Amino acid sequence: MYATTETKQSKTEFTQQVEHMFGEIAPVYDFLNHVLSFGVDGIWRRKTAQALRVKSGASLLDIATGTGDTLKQLARLAPRKIVGVDLTQKMLDICAKKFAQQMEHGMIELYCCSANELPFPTASFDGAAITFGIRNFDDKPGALREIARTLKPGARIAIAELTIPKKKPFAELYKFYFTKVLPYIGGALSRNFSAYKYLPASVAAFPSPPDFCAMMESAGFEDIYARPLTFGICMLYVGKRK
């Protein structure tokens, strides 16, 4: 299935800008993710999928699925079905080409819709993943509550998000790369400098790990923890649906 669902609420200006931005960089998104992270993004996605701890035959939800790199890792868990959701149609078009065979057999379904208005019944999924997408959500608490609604009690959510490491001297070197070098390389290769200036700004504006864990708890999750990956460049948040 490949569907576009109509949202009940109009998109905010911020959401429209993010949707347009990711649509512009969609053709080079995978390539730049791998290059700019030195290939480590694949490891982060794999750890995110593994953190769900699901049995084979599970039904999984991938939020902000983009071009589908996390779908590859979720597929290794031998699920019955994976549903990918993203707000940017151009990203999903690329994803659909990658997984045409799996979609034909019904293993993967894609929906173009907002994480705040998911078109799925309550308690539909055995696990949910979000990789490098939640910082782009206009209403993060609302999205977490909506995702929690679609999860079965006891199901896990695993969220990977970029962050700024704290320990010196690595923190200083990484900050220089992330704020000065990465935006220039990403902008030059994608021909969209604004998108790669937005990246470090959005990471800097993301809630601290304690604040985000508190946000997850308020949304209906428990047994929450935050685990730093790769010297704190990435943070993995895991929680269980109450």
- Write the CATH number for 14: 3.40.50.150
Helix 193-204 with 182-190: angle, nearest 10 deg: 140
Amino acid at 153: P
Assess contact for 233 and 182: CB atoms under 8 A: no
The phi-psi region of residue 3 (left if phi > 0; otherwise alpha if psi is between -120 and 50; otherwise beta) is: beta
Report if residue 190 sits inside a domain.
no
Q: Hey, what are 61's tokens?
A: 């939800």
Q: Which pLDDT value is given to residue 10?
A: 57
Q: Which pLDDT value is given to residue 36?
A: 84
Grouping H, G, I as helix, E, B as strand and the rest as coil, residue 7 is coil
Report the C-alpha gap between 192 and 97 in whole angstroms.
Answer: 24
Report the C-alpha gap between 36 and 188 in whole angstroms.
Answer: 12
Q: Which pLDDT value is given to residue 5?
A: 47
Report the C-alpha gap between 210 and 132 in whole angstroms.
Answer: 18
Report if residue 201 sits inside a domain.
no
Q: Which pLDDT value is given to residue 66?
A: 95
pTM for the full model? Answer: 0.92
Total number of domains in the chain: 1
Range(s) of the domain holding residue 41: 2-164+207-241
Q: Which pLDDT value is given to residue 14?
A: 82
Spell out, as residue ranges, where the chain has pLDDT lower than 50. Answer: 4-9
Q: Which pLDDT value is given to residue 77?
A: 97
Report if residue 186 sits inside a domain.
no
Report if residue 54 sits inside a domain.
yes
β-strands 151-162, 125-131: how paired? parallel
β-strands 125-131, 108-112: how paired? unpaired
CA-based max dimension of the chain: 50
Amino acid at 38: F
> Closest Cα to residue 160, out of 109, 91, 212, 94?
212
Report if residue 194 sits inside a domain.
no
Report if residue 70 sits inside a domain.
yes
- What are the phi and psi torsion angles at 210 (to 5°)? -60, -40
Q: Which helix (H) or strand (E) holds 209?
A: helix 209-219
Report if residue 195 sits inside a domain.
no
Report if residue 14 sits inside a domain.
yes
Q: Which pLDDT value is given to residue 2?
A: 59
- In Å, how far from its chain's centre is CA 144? 12
